Every structure is written in structure tokens, then in C-alpha cells.
Amino acid sequence: MATKLARHDFRHWAARTRALGGCAQPVHLRGRVEHLDPLTGEVLHRYTTSREPGGTLRVACKTRRASRCPACAETYRADTYHLVRAGLVGGKGVPDSVTAHPAAFVTLTAPSFGPVHTRREKPGGVQPCHPRRDAERCPHGRRLSCTLRHGAEDPRLGEPLCPDCYDHTGSVLFNALAPELWRRFTLALRRRLAKAAGLTVTALGDALTVSFAKVAEYQRRGVVHFHAVIRLDGPGGPAAEPPAWATHDLLAEAVRQAARAVTVTTPEAPGVPARSLAWGTQLDIRPITTTGELTDKAVAGYIAKYATKAAECVGTLDRRIRATDDPNDLPVSNHARRLIGECLRLGTLEEMAELRLAEWAHMLGFRGHFSTKSRHYSTTLGQLRTDRIHHNQRAREITTGRLPFTDEDQVLVIAHWRYVGQGLTPGEVLLTAALTGTPLPPLHPSADERTDL
Ligand SMILES: [Zn+2]
Ligand SMILES: [Zn+2]
Ligand SMILES: [Zn+2]
């Protein structure tokens, strides 16, 4: 810290650090950018990292994982909130008239893979977990009953009543195929809406657009489920009125039928028969209104909250499993260990190769995106970032924020970037917290354990 403070370029470094908003693991780049006039080849602007502190430019990691970088995850959460909210009430380029379009908040869950310890709250208080007076013993001699009223932080929550009976195979295959099940659901939804309107699916596109924003959330038992905002617009997106027949009730019924209709078949492999997976029986569909029980604001907050949560919330790792890892030594819950082990086992089967289960074992098989939206839903995260960069920047010019979001139609940009490292020294961690007012980040794994940039 003292060395950093004494350097001649400390002020420059401090300004750059503030601009990164307290990122705990900035990426260090070396290189240069030249802006040329495409017609004449004249150099309009030249930037090189050689004049930056230490000769490198640092850019924010932009992770959505709060366990990695609280500052960038907060930015992601806030952007997701505005993105979802714009799709419900307008703003950020979406017309206000969108509030009148039928919209529903839908939760699609995973099926059961065996009884797990649960906490059920009812108006009268917390209910017993799995009370079965005449519970039979499972083949492993365990009574499949639990009369405890679990506390909210009980580590047993989500753990199977019998870990040996639990269907770990089904659980990780469901996670791996959930994005495909979602895709089939959206297709089936369009088919149901077309049928209700007496149109073909192609003709439906000329009358109606189905827009959605969704997030994946891990349940404690280690399977993903999805929360989604589904909205009906006119042709081309939120600027157009949906047809009069597109009502809340019609949307709810179409969602219900589509969710019940779709299945996905798992690949067949030696010792692992093919099976058909579908959504769980718990299906929640609620209309979103500006005034009612479920408001647009509540939904946007709810979705944004889940956008930064990842699988580590259910007791697994926030990094990939390496060949050198001994599964028995991983600092995870026993349930997560079994699920990780099942991913690694199925990952060796040729027939399962395309599910890339070994690679995504730390995510318990899920390799989808945490938050996605359809093209017409609202603005994009990229646009929100670009707006913020333009808003914040002026003095800092284009260089620091430019990497992923270029929008050059008037100039030719030639960039040469080289990755030279990532992260902060212990002294820089303290200085960054002091300069940006962000909390000190959690203890980090060593630099070589960071995998998702
Ligand atoms: Zn960061
Ligand atoms: Zn229990
Ligand atoms: Zn058993």
C-alpha cells in the first residue's frame, strides 16, 4: 500500500480505480487503439496503455457473481432491474403504453427427484418437514419421514431424506436440459396462442409478439427453476398494441397448457436409459399490473435479485472443477458433492458428450444463461452499459469502457489488446475499498482459480 501511495502516478491510478467502481478483480490489458478516418486513413485519435499507471489499462470484470466481485455484481443487478422494469412500465426506449399489454409472472419449477428437507411456512407458522406417521423404510433402512420444523438457515434444507435413494442422475440431467425445455416451452406457447386465435403460427407473428425476460434460480436441492415475465405485444414489439383477443386470461391459459405439454428426452447411454423430463407440478402464473397484488416494480426487483445469485448459494463451488481436484476434498455440501460426482461420471459417457456435464459440474450440470430476454422485450444490458459509460465519461474518453460495446459507423477502429493479468494486490484491495467506498471483497481464491471472465 505504501509503495503504491508513494508512486508518482498514484493520483492517476486512484482516478482509474474510482472509474472502475470498486471492481475486485479488474482485467489488466496492454495495447493500443487507433481511430482512423475510413476514407482518408488519417489518424483521428490514438490511445496507448503505455501512459497508464504500470503501463496497463484495467477494465472492470463485469461479473454477475456477488461472490466474485460485489461491485460489478451490483451493477449487473441494477441493470437487470432497469431492463425488466422498462419492459413492464416503459422507459429506456420502450413506450409507456406497454403497461396496458397483458403480462404474467411465471415460475416453472423442476420435478421431484426424491424427498428433501424443506421449510414450509404457512400463516400458522412453520410446518413440519415431511411428517409420515407410517413411513416405510427405504431399501437403505432409512425412514422417509422428518417431523422437524427447520429453521431458515438449517444446513439440512435441500438435503435428501435418503441420499442413496435420491435421483442425482435425473437432477443433473434436468439442469443440463432445462434451457432446451424452456425453448420448447416458448415454441409451444406460440402454438397455443395461435390455436386460441384460430391462426397458424406464421400468421400469429403478423398479429402478435411474445416477449419475455427470464432468470434461472437454484433451489436448495440443487436444481434450477425459471422465473419469467411473459408479455404480449403487437407485431414487431412493445410499440404496437396487441390484438383485442390477447387478454390476461388467454395468456395464463396458454402458459398453463404449454408448460404441461412440453418434454425433453435425455440421451441414452450404457446403464443410463433415456428418460423423458418435464416441468414440475408446481406452476405459478400471476398477472402483472401496475396497481394489483403483483406490481411491475416488485417483479423487476425479484428478477434482478436472482440475476446475481449462482449455484454457490446451494453449497457448491464458484469455479470449475479441475482434473487435479479430489472430489472428496472440495469444500462443498455432501449433496452438492454427490451431484458434482454424478456430472463427472456422466461426463465420461460418449453419448452425453454434448451436455458437457464434466465442464459444468460446478454448476451441477446447468450451462445456460442466468438471465435472458427475447429481442423485443426491452432495452439490452449492452445498451444500458453504453448509456452509463457515455453518461459517466466525458473526461475519460472512450477508451476505458470500450471493449465489448463498440458502435463505430463513422470511424475505423484498429485495436491491439493483450491480456496481461487480473486482480488486485493486497495493498490495492485496501486502497480500492477506501477510494470507492465499497466493502472489502470476500477472501478470494488465488489468481489461477479464476475461470469465468
Ligand atoms: Zn468486478
Ligand atoms: Zn427435514
Ligand atoms: Zn434409501
Q: 276 C-alpha vs ligand 2 centroid, how far in Å?
A: 29
Rounded to a whole number of angstroms, the distance between the first and last alpha carbons of the chain is 26
Residue bearing the bigger pLDDT, 40 or 334: 334
Task: Choose the most confident range, by mean pLDDT, from 31-35, 257-261, 323-327, 428-432.
Answer: 257-261
| Predicted confidence band of residue 40 (pLDDT cuts 50, 70, 90) | confident
Q: 150 C-alpha vs ligand 3 centroid, how far in Å?
A: 21
Q: Which of 51-55, 146-150, 230-234, 396-400 has the lowest mean pLDDT?
A: 396-400
Q: Which ligand has its closest atom nearest to the C-alpha of 144?
A: 3
| 112-117-120 Cα angle (round to 5) | 90
Angle subtended by helix axes 334-347 and 168-197, to nearest 10: 80
pLDDT, residue 111, reads: 96
CB atoms within 10 A of CB 324: 5
Q: 220 C-alpha vs ligand 2 centroid, how far in Å?
A: 13
Q: Which ligand has its closest atom nearest to the C-alpha of 116?
A: 2
pLDDT, residue 315, reads: 66
Average pLDDT over the chain reads: 82
- As a whole number, mean pLDDT of residues 229-253 equals 90
Q: 370 C-alpha vs ligand 2 centroid, how far in Å?
A: 29
Q: Which ligand has its closest atom nearest to the C-alpha of 149?
A: 2
**Would the pLDDT of 241 be above 70?**
yes
**Would the pLDDT of 229 be above 70?**
yes
pTM: 0.75
Span 405-419, pLDDT tens digits = 233 345 566 777 788
- As a whole number, mean pLDDT of residues 282-306 equals 77
Q: 203 C-alpha vs ligand 3 centroid, how far in Å?
A: 52
pLDDT, residue 393, reads: 46
8 Å CB contact between 182 and 344: no
Q: 364 C-alpha vs ligand 2 centroid, how far in Å?
A: 22
Q: Which ligand has its closest atom nearest to the C-alpha of 25?
A: 1
- As a whole number, mean pLDDT of residues 27-45 equals 79
Q: 221 C-alpha vs ligand 2 centroid, how far in Å?
A: 12
Q: 381 C-alpha vs ligand 1 centroid, how far in Å?
A: 16
Q: Which of 28-37, 141-150, 366-375 has the lowest mean pLDDT?
A: 366-375
| Predicted confidence band of residue 311 (pLDDT cuts 50, 70, 90) | low
| Predicted confidence band of residue 337 (pLDDT cuts 50, 70, 90) | very high
Q: 62 C-alpha vs ligand 2 centroid, how far in Å?
A: 38
Q: 111 C-alpha vs ligand 2 centroid, how far in Å?
A: 19
Q: Which ligand has its closest atom nearest to the C-alpha of 147?
A: 2
pLDDT, residue 272, reads: 94
Q: 147 C-alpha vs ligand 2 centroid, how far in Å?
A: 6
Q: 154 C-alpha vs ligand 2 centroid, how far in Å?
A: 9
Q: Which ligand has its closest atom nearest to the C-alpha of 24?
A: 1
Residue bearing the bigger pLDDT, 442 or 103: 103
Q: Which of 84-93, 134-143, 234-243 has the lowest mean pLDDT?
A: 84-93
Backbone angles phi, psi at 294, to 5 degrees: -115, 105
Q: Which ligand has its closest atom nearest to the C-alpha of 166?
A: 3
- The C-alpha atoms of residue 247 and residue 103 are separated, in whole angstroms, by 9
pLDDT, residue 215, reads: 83
Q: Which ligand has its closest atom nearest to the C-alpha of 75?
A: 1
CB atoms within 10 A of CB 382: 12
Q: 68 C-alpha vs ligand 1 centroid, how far in Å?
A: 7
Residue bearing the bigger pLDDT, 420 or 351: 351
Give me the DSSP letters along 198-209: T--HHHHHHH-E
pLDDT, residue 441, reads: 60
8 Å CB contact between 327 and 347: no
pLDDT, residue 442, reads: 58
Q: Which ligand has its closest atom nearest to the C-alpha of 62?
A: 1
Mapped onto helix, strand or coil, the DSSP state of residue 442 is: coil
pLDDT, residue 273, reads: 95
Q: 114 C-alpha vs ligand 3 centroid, how far in Å?
A: 10
pLDDT, residue 352, reads: 93
Of 283, 360, 288, 253, the C-alpha closest to 101 is 288
Q: 62 C-alpha vs ligand 1 centroid, how far in Å?
A: 5
- The C-alpha atoms of residue 178 and residue 223 are separated, in whole angstroms, by 9
**Would the pLDDT of 193 be above 90?**
yes
Angle subtended by helix axes 296-307 and 70-89, to nearest 10: 150
Q: 55 C-alpha vs ligand 1 centroid, how far in Å?
A: 20
pLDDT, residue 412, reads: 67
Express as a percent the part of the chain with pLDDT over 90: 32
Q: 159 C-alpha vs ligand 2 centroid, how far in Å?
A: 8
Q: 451 C-alpha vs ligand 1 centroid, how far in Å?
A: 13
pLDDT, residue 335, reads: 92
Span 379-406, pLDDT tens digits = 676 776 766 665 554 334 433 333 322 3
Q: Which ligand has its closest atom nearest to the C-alpha of 76?
A: 1
